[in-house]
A and B are shown apart, each in its own frame.
Chain A
Amino acid sequence: MKRNFQIALRFLLAKRRAMLMTLAGIVFGVAFFIVTQAQTHGFEDLFIRTVLGANGALRVQDKFQNPITSLMADTGDSTEGFRVPLKEGRTYIPGISHPGVIKESVEKFSSVSGVSEVLAGRASVSSGFRSLKTEVLGIRLNDHLSVTDLGSQIRFGSLARYSEEPSGILIGTRLAGRLQIDIGDTLFMEHLGAKRRYRLVGIFETGVGQYDLTRTFIHLDEARLLFKKPFGSSYLQVALFDSDKAPQVALHLEETLQHNVDSWQEREKTWLDVFRVLRFSSGLTMASIIVIAGLGMFNTLAMIVMERQREIAILRSIGYTRGDIISIFLQQGMAVLIAGILLGWILALALTYGVSSLPIHIRGVFSADSFVVKWSLYHYLWAGFIASIVILLASFLPARRAAHIDPGEVIRRMGG
């Protein structure tokens, strides 16, 4: 191995300019791949954190009845029977009629970390300045804090004040701006002719523009009075210890509770797909730089094979095997590959750090004041893996060609 590496290194150094170009291609390809993955993954994670922080991992809502076909398939015998739940044919009864019982059942699941009962409805909120439509959420504060990041989203006012004030209301930053109101001001909420008065005790910012413009929180008992619903609730918001398992837990809950349960992945499928496509396409674009570097490597090694036919023939004549010749050329590729990956990783670390401190102002689907990056070992391993496949393939083809050089024929042709 060592003897072959010595020869490989000398061949390599004789073509150092061409190899440096290939090396640069690998370094930049690896680095840019990692940086773009870190960015897109970072923003995706921020979006998920925002979504989970605002809406929780699961939402248990409308009660349903299974269609007849589904019921017939369910024989009730666990050994022989089978069940085909057909979601499309279900009959839904809006809301949860016995939230206390359902909440208690949900809390018994070991994967559940918190449950909050929510009574939601639409109402008009008005200050002295103007009136706007809002989505009013009636909550129990402590329960809701266990399933959202509301505690850390308060920008003005306080939750302590809210818990003490029965007519207290929390509204989003953008709504507060539109209504031109401040902490301590009075607001009126109107629903189907009923009008109730509230005091603004807190202004929150979720980072999701729509929520910050339309959401308001009031106490659950107040919401019952406003919407004239003394019983029942709209949905239960559920937090899980491992939110990645939400789809499986949702299925389990749905089957047990006979209520529709949506996971955050199902709710936000469109946005998650957008992020996934972005990550894939940026990864593909950056991988193409590595492919171009691979073409450079192929070209350089093919040139070395052409120019070194005499030396290859001599090596073969003094007993170097075809395997040795392949090893000599693969080692040239490996040397450039390893240097390229290591330098690419170092450059990626520096660039990712640099990008993460670039200022940016994003408000809409989430809130960010600088580029968000995710530091993940997998990005580095993937970049290394892609570079390895491309470069080894690009090295193997010329290596194979070199190994098949007929020493006698070459020496005869070159006037040996």
Chain B
Amino acid sequence: MTETRPENGEGVVLKASNLHRWLGNEENRVHALRGVSLSLEAGKVHAVVGPSGCGKSTLLYLLGLLDRPDDGDLWLMGKQMTVASEAERTPARNEHIGFVFQFHFLMPEFTAAENIMLPMRKLNRLTENEMNERSGQILQDIGLEDKGHRLAYHLSGGEQQRVAVGRALANFPGLLLADEPTGNLDQKNSDSIFALLCRLARQKGQAVLIVTHNLELAEQCDTTFSLVDGNLT
């Protein structure tokens, strides 16, 4: 593992270098990632494509600081995160990373606005009024300004996924990671969510990484990486 900090190019939000990850126990170990390197730039939408089981989600969890690589280096906002403690990684997730998963994973008993405010409450930098104001703005951005007070389980699948996008954007993170964000939606909702992600990324200058097996969708991104047998091309 190199200890040299890379030159963080202008607008590079996340840089990964030579990431390796083995999954499974001692007897059935799978070398899921075999030296993956990539850079994610602010204001651009990136895609990682590949067949099922090629390690796309594993890569996303590594980049999202939900998992640790067995080897390689990772810098987020210029800070080395591979060896960072859990006490450093957890706040970094809160402040700098937004997640959108295939399933929305909203808190069902919370309203749309309350779900969006969850990361803000944790960051604890805004007053209650400011949080309400920001969640209102985000609801407007995701086209749900009139549904902020609805409980999450009263929203449709497409609306729930929009709220999940809103929650990911709550703290204006530099990096937005989306794992098959449209995989559970119909075509109309899928297009809408993808357009939303692209628009917000460009507007707010965020780096977006979408993990998908949908090649059509990937072609519309600024940069596309192909993950095959644990290697990125």
Please give the residue numbers on chain A whose beta carbons come within 8 Å of chain B beta carbons, in ascending order: 3, 6-7, 10-11, 13-14, 310-311, 313-322, 324, 407-408, 411-412, 414-416
Contacts and interface: CB of A to CB of B under 8 A. Distances in A.
Contacts of A414: 103, 105
Nearest to B94: A319
Contacts of B57: 412, 416
B101 A318 contact: no
B107 to A, nearest CB: 6
Nearest to A318: B119
Nearest to A13: B109
A319 B103 contact: no
A342 B90 CA distance: 37
Interface in B94-124: 94-95, 99, 101-103, 105, 107, 109-110, 114, 118-119, 121-124
Contact of B105 (A310, A319, A321, A408): A310
Contacts of A310: 105
A317 B64 contact: yes
Contacts of B118: 3, 315, 318
B105 A311 contact: yes
A70 to B, nearest CB: 67
14 contacts: A3-B121, A3-B122, A13-B109, A311-B107, A314-B107, A315-B118, A317-B66, A318-B118, A319-B91, A411-B61, A411-B66, A412-B57, A412-B61, A415-B102
A313 B67 CA distance: 13
Contact of A319 (B67, B93, B109, B110): B93
Interface of B: 57, 61, 64, 66-67, 86-87, 90-91, 93-95, 99, 101-103, 105, 107, 109-110, 114, 118-119, 121-124, 167, 179
Contact of B93 (A13, A313, A317, A415): A317
Contact of A416 (B67, B101, B123): B101
Given A311-B105, A412-B61, A319 B121 contact: no
A318 B122 contact: yes
Nearest to A14: B109
A211 B179 CA distance: 89
Given A319-B90, A319-B122, A416 B102 contact: yes
A42 B167 CA distance: 60
A3 B61 CA distance: 26
A250 B9 CA distance: 89
B90 A408 contact: no
A321 B90 contact: yes
Contact of A411 (B87, B101, B119): B101
Contact of A320 (B66, B99, B122): B122
Contact of B109 (A10, A408, A412, A415): A10
Contacts of B61: 408, 411-412
B134 to A, nearest CB: 15
A21 to B, nearest CB: 20
Contacts of A11: 109
A3 B94 CA distance: 14
Contacts of B121: 3, 6
A363 to B, nearest CB: 61
A409 to B, nearest CB: 8
CB-based closest 4 A-B pairs: A319-B94, A408-B66, A3-B121, A416-B101
Nearest to A324: B122
Given A318-B93, A408-B66, A416 B103 contact: yes
B102 A318 contact: no
A14 B152 CA distance: 14
Nearest to B121: A3
Most buried by B among A310, A319, A320, A411: A319
A275 B81 CA distance: 66
Contacts of B99: 317-318
A408 B122 contact: no
A319 to B, nearest CB: 2
Given A408-B67, A412-B61, A414-B103, A318 B109 contact: no
B180 to A, nearest CB: 9
Nearest to A310: B105
A310 B90 CA distance: 17
Contacts of A407: 66
Most buried by B among A6, A13, A313, A411: A411
